[in-house]
A and B are shown apart, each in its own frame.
Chain A
Amino acid sequence: MRGAIWACVTAVVLWGAGVAAQESAPADTAVEEQSLWEDLFGPTDWALHGFYEVRAGYRTRKDPYQKDMSLMETRLQVDVDGYTDWADLKFKGDVYGDLVDEEGHFDLREANLFFRPGDAIDVKIGRQILTWGTGDLIFINDLFPKDWQAFFIGRDTEYLKAPSDAAKVSVFSDAVNVDFVYTPQFDSDRHVTGERLSYWDANVQRLAGRDRIVHTDKPDRWFRDDEFAVRVYKNVDNVELAVYGYWGYWKSPAGQSLSGAALFPDLNVYGASARGTVGEGIGNVEFGYYDSDDDPGGDDGRIDNSQLRFLVGYTQELAKDFTAGMQYYVEHMMDYSAYRASLMGGRARDQNRHVVTLRLTQLMMNQNLRLSLFTYYSPSDEDAYIRPNLHYKATDNLALELGANIFFGDEPHTFFAQFQNDTNVYAAVRYTF
């Protein structure tokens, strides 16, 4: 909440400064600016848009720790864009009533200011959605917050990205381009807590949910528990090359305090990626070294080990309006013997977690009907997560959606299998304006 206030205050202060600057201009220039304003922007200068949505989902398996209803919400998103001659303003917020937790919510998605102070500099300050990297629903060097809960319960994919309260400065040159993102107060993932989704609780060695809500001890001091991310990138003959750095914290709980609170230990990530045309399709490769700074030797059983993460992917249009994409992803634990030695009971993870993904997308009926299937399958964990989705645009404004989140696996402690009781089907109607 403090983050939201900070973002609003920044936006208001900067906006106020802009208005003041305009007002203090001499009268004749003000008139000139007025007409220039008209010439440049016309009546579309402020734009109000958004959508109204009803979305409902149901669990297909009985879960003793959750309600049968996985999703039941009506949502209004309001999206306001403003353009002045020196900056773009953006406000996007969701108001929704949720029958599962029986509460009303306000989710401020964006409240930011964008400006180009120089020919080669872009700045965006405030609450914003941030993404980079080459994976398709797999993130290595993108350490901006994700909303896994929204993703697993069947909200629109847009909600997988949770907002950051940050400043992004981009510098462009012929040699390389650089993005710097500073987040003054750590923004964690909106991770699985047991409230909406059941999970594997290693402490009790069973599936748990609302009976054992995850309590966290999150770094939250302003300007001390901060995050810094950088990307240096260049396009060489349309091969997109990038190197990345991140200094912050594990985004979802990756440790436990002695009192049992879930922790977000220190994490630094260094990585690189490339993406370009390969044959008739698009190929991408990305890796990242996850340096778990609070557990350098990997011998602290309470904190996750350092990892090497690697991804390679390929997408191709196989037929008209039919596209297939495959990815192979691996998480390699660096100090596995130290991990095994420090394990305090319970089941050990494998040293390598392999995941294969497959995305199939078929467009039909003048591209108004989209059938898609995204599958994660881990041959090492022997578990899977399948996301079928049907999206139909009945008119330019009205869309209907049907989908499911299906989890299964042999061992309940593996990553996807732990959510098997969270398997759900959902439907939505959205009116966009």
Chain B
Amino acid sequence: MKRLMMAVLSVAVLWTTGLARAAEEPLTDVQQIVEKANVVAYYQGDDGKAIVEMKITDKDGQVRERRFVILRKDQADGGDQKYFVYFQRPADVRRMTYMVHKHAAIDKDDDRWLYLPSLDLIKRIAAGDKRTSFVGSHFLYEDVSGRSLAEDTHELVDTTEQHYVVKNTPKKPDTVEFSYFTVAIDRKTFVPMKMEFYDKNGTLYRVIESKKVEKIQDFYTVTESVVRDLKSGGKTEMKFTDVQYNLGLDDDLFSERYLRRPPREAMR
């Protein structure tokens, strides 16, 4: 019995020292944490490609699906980006292409275009409220393209064994529907694992969770995530497949030429 006690004790001691080692020098500078997490979430590699599938379940349990190919190229980590979204499903939006020149500067709106193949028409989309649904899902435009770090003040509220928990409070509360949101950032990978949004009454109403993280070409990538609208009960699950980084995508790809006729990379 005494021996058992010893064994348990030593295991416990070793376990805690191990933990201490893992938790070695946790970061304390919140700016550094959010910047690293921002790059991991939105700027992996110089460019990237993925097939994205969304399953949108509304409050009545009705399911709708989206499938599109996304191409991305960064101008600089944490800076401007160019996006190409080529829709494959549902059939009525098939072959529509959406192009975004995202501007990181807080006072400069993104440039967006939509190509409608049946009319051979390029529509320029007025920069809108970034907290508008992306393709009718529970993900918002801003969830997909990234919310500028300069929009919020960041506060490190907790450092657990696994996560940094950061509270983000909008500098302009009138422009958004939440009063603040917290992000649990994995201490090792800097992948944002869980985002929780609180409404103006301080009630949690919206949760985004990373369900599966894979290491692809040395880049930690969220390949499965889900957003839940706790008020309506709806949710959208998002899955990334065929993820590739550093394809050497050319800047010219994100132009009218390829908007009208996407590159083969985007169509498969």
Residues of B within 8 A of A81 (CB): 95
Partner of A397, one of B91, B129, B137: B91
Interface size, B (range)? 35 or more
Select B257's contact among A157, A170, A238, beta carbons within 8 Å: A170
Among B118-126, B152-160, B206-214, the stretch that binds chain A is B118-126
User: Please, which residues of chain A bring their CB within 8 A of the CB of B233?
Assistant: none
Would you call A395 and B255 a contact (CB within 8 A)? Answer: no
Q: Is B216 an interface residue (CB 8 A)?
A: no
Inter-subunit contact A280/B109 (CB<8 Å):
yes
A281 within 8 A of B: yes
- Could you mark each residue 153-191 of chain A with 1 if its beta carbon is under 8 Å from any beta carbon of chain B, else 0? 000011011000000001010000100000000000000
Q: With A238-B111, A280-B109, A280-B126 in contact, do A432 and B91 touch (Cβ < 8 Å)?
A: yes
A337 contacts B by Cβ under 8 Å: no
Cβ of B68 to closest chain A Cβ, rounded Å: 13
- Report if A251 contacts B (CB, 8 A): no
Known contacts: A235-B255, A282-B124. The answer to whether A158 contacts B119 by CB under 8 A is: yes
Given contacts A277-B109, A277-B127, A317-B128, contact A158 B120 (CB under 8 A): no
Contact B268 A44 (CB under 8 A): yes
Q: Give the Cβ gap from A78 to chain B, nearest Cβ, in Å.
A: 12
Any B CB within 8 A of the CB of A433: yes
Question: Assuming A317-B126, A397-B90, is B56 touching A129 (CB within 8 A)?
Answer: no
In whole angstroms, what is the CA distance A160 to B116 when docked?
13
Contacts of A41 in B (CB 8 A): 268
Q: Do most interface residues of chain A lie in helix, strand or loop, or is the interface mixed?
A: strand
Residue in B closest to A321 when the chains form the complex, CB atoms: B132
Taken together as a complex, chains A and B put the C-alpha atoms of A246 and B223 apart, in Å, by 50
Q: Which chain A residue has the least Cβ–Cβ distance from B62?
A: A395
A224 located at the interface, meaning its Cβ lies under 8 Å from any Cβ of chain B in the complex? no
Specify which chain A residues have a CB less than 8 angstroms from the CB of B135 in the assembled complex.
Answer: 367
B36 to chain A, nearest CB (A): 30
* 0 or 1 for each of B243-267: is its CB under 8 Å from A? (1 = yes): 0000000001001110001001001
Give complex CA distance A2, B136 in Å: 43
In the complex, the answer to whether A131 meets B121 with C-beta atoms within 8 Å is: yes
Q: Within 8 Å CB of A130, what residues of B?
A: 120
Contact of B58 among A131, A282, A323, A366 (CB under 8 A): A366
What's the nearest-Cβ distance from chain B to residue A37, in Å?
Answer: 12
- The answer to whether B120 and A320 have CB atoms under 8 Å apart is no
Q: Tell yes or no: A198 within 8 A of B by CB.
A: no
Contacts A83-B267, A433-B91: A161 and B131 contacting too (C-beta < 8 A)?
no
- Closest CB-CB distance, B34 to chain A, in whole Å? 26
B171 at the interface (CB under 8 A from A): no
Residue ID in chain B nearest A325 by CB atoms: B126
For the complex, give the distance between the alpha carbons of A6 and B159 in Å.
Answer: 71
* Pair B261/A129 contact, Cβ less than 8 Å: no
The residue among B92, B95, B111, B127 with the most chain A CB atoms within 10 A of its own CB is B92
Interface code B87-121, partner A: CB below 8 Å = 1, 0 otherwise? 00111101100000100000001010000001111
Which of A158, A317, A366, A367 is the one whose CB lies under 8 Å from B127? Answer: A317
Kindly identify which residue among B126, B127, B234, B268 contacts A40, using a CB–CB cutoff of 8 Å.
B268
Instruction: State A53–B189 Cα separation when bound (angstroms).
Output: 51
Please name 16 further chain A to chain B contacts, defined as beta carbons within 8 Å, in addition to the given A235-B255, A240-B124, sorted by A numbering.
Answer: A40-B268, A51-B92, A129-B118, A157-B119, A158-B118, A172-B252, A233-B256, A240-B256, A277-B109, A320-B128, A323-B126, A366-B56, A366-B137, A366-B234, A367-B135, A433-B91
- 24 A-B pairs with CB atoms under 8 Å apart are A49-B91, A131-B120, A157-B119, A158-B119, A160-B119, A161-B120, A172-B252, A235-B255, A238-B101, A282-B124, A315-B124, A316-B126, A317-B126, A317-B127, A320-B131, A320-B132, A321-B132, A366-B234, A367-B133, A367-B136, A395-B64, A396-B64, A396-B89, A432-B90
